[in-house]
Structure 1
Amino acid sequence: MATDALLPAAIPAAGIRPRRNLRRRVRNAATVASALTLAAIIGAALLAPLIAPFDPNAIDLGQALKAPSPAHWFGTDQLGRDVLSRVIFGGRMSLFIALCVVILAGIGGTLAGILAGYRGGLVDDVVMRFAEIQYALPPVILALVLVGALGPSTTNIIIVITLANWARFARVIRAEAISLRHRDFVLLARLSGASSWRIVLTHILPNVQATLLVLLTLDIGLIIILEATLSFLGLGIQPPDPSWGTMIAEGRAYLERAWWTSLLPGAALLLTVLAANVIGDSLGRRGAGAGGR
């Protein structure tokens, strides 16, 4: 009787473990596929002048709106430009802007968050009030207002998207810094006479690196979408320079007879954002698992 009483509890437990293993394998496979996809996209962007089959801005009206073929794998647009070449160079521009913004917003937001969380008091209040003001406006609306005032250019786009993204880093890193400043090793360092900068560089910053890496990875997708949105609305990368958002916008008028002009740049945008988000989610899960252990 005692053995029979244990069977109902043992059978579900035995069934849960294979399902967990299957989910883990699926997530690992998705992470590997995303890493390979993102690596291929970054590699294509870096080697764009070498691997692009045509000049992305070369106009050939005699080849306008040609369907995908061995000569033009992704077809041509309304001006006869090779869509594949423009997708490759458009990815190069999008990734360049994402890299610049991630570095600037990551450094600025991290320093602001650590300063607010570690120092507290008036400094914390001032930094958080600025962050709340930024959060009061959706990033797209803020970017539209600033780009409309400053004018569309690559430099202005980087500045605008940085201003729209730094607060995300500041708020998350601030929470980490508040938790760390009460830890024993920080208190001991303070009692030993270590300066605030030494404590921040030696004890606070190394312990927020895992969280920062997740934020940086996830932010890449958001930045690429925001840049594509601005370009789609005509406030981003200006023609004739290629951009995924601009290509999608230009191809709208030809969707019925030339679907590839918008769909293929959109697919490249989707793959890049999805790959970055899957990798960021995987890093977040591993960080949470390590913290739980």
Structure 2
Amino acid sequence: MHKFLRAIGFSNLNKKELDNIIADIIEHPTVLKVAEDSEGNEFAEMSKEYGEFMGISLRGTYREDDRFEVDYYYPYFCGKQISTREKVEIEKHAEKESYAGVCDEVRIGVTLIFYLQNIVDYFAEKKYSLSLHPQNGVILAALSTDGKILLPINKPENKNRHQNGGTRDRNCLIAAAREGDEDAIENLTLEDMDTYSMLSRRVAHEDVLSIVESYFMPYGIESDQYSILGEIMDVSLVQNQVTLENIYCLDILCSDISFSVCINQKDLLGEPQVGRRFKGNIWMQGSINYQD
């Protein structure tokens, strides 16, 4: 049973119920896409929505008698907006026909790895030696089974403007440092020393979550899972059409990156509201937006 099924409202499925759902998806898919996989075989993906922007996808191949053979399934949640425009490299997972997107995103300070949703589109683009439809950003979304709501940090408006300017300057320095600019490297080192000194003073008499506004860092041993803390920009409550479980869809701004998070109401501690913060562990998914 997939761990993140509960994030889209299937928290109490047994094996028989899951088999019935898979059979129903094969009979009545919302979306069906077919392409050639990395070995030249016919590869198919079937998806069915069980709520707005969320559902289950099946991936596999068709037999000679036109029967669909399921290789694997996964729950998905679709994002609403482009989160990053950094160049993405695609890497195949070793054990099955699934792929990960990898990009260097300077705003979060770590290599961003996500589970690729639209691999059929990727196969179609890969067939051409010169891509006819270049990448136009990545739409990120995430599933979560563990989260809590935190109060916001009280900051003056002028401090927000100053911080936004500082973030842009730091991103420029990081980009220059990657190109080997020694002055940028030295400035970043001095800035980190100042930050460490400030944190050391404040943490003695303040809670760390009143100092750290947001963070984005790897979680566990799987490369596409992260622990995050970010500001809630929008909240909507949807219902799984089969189980009638309530699901929160949160638009999150984390380390200056916007993406959506889907979490079961049972797994979220606290009441989400715009301006408050979400803290939790996520499985990052994403789809590459190819230009027409």
Structure ID, larger Rg: 1
* Higher-strand-fraction structure: 2
Asked if Structure 1 and Structure 2 have the same fold, meaning a TM-score greater than 0.5 normalized by the shorter chain, the answer is no
Report TM bin, short chain.
under 0.3
Normalised to the residue count of structure 2, the TM-score between the two structures is: 0.23
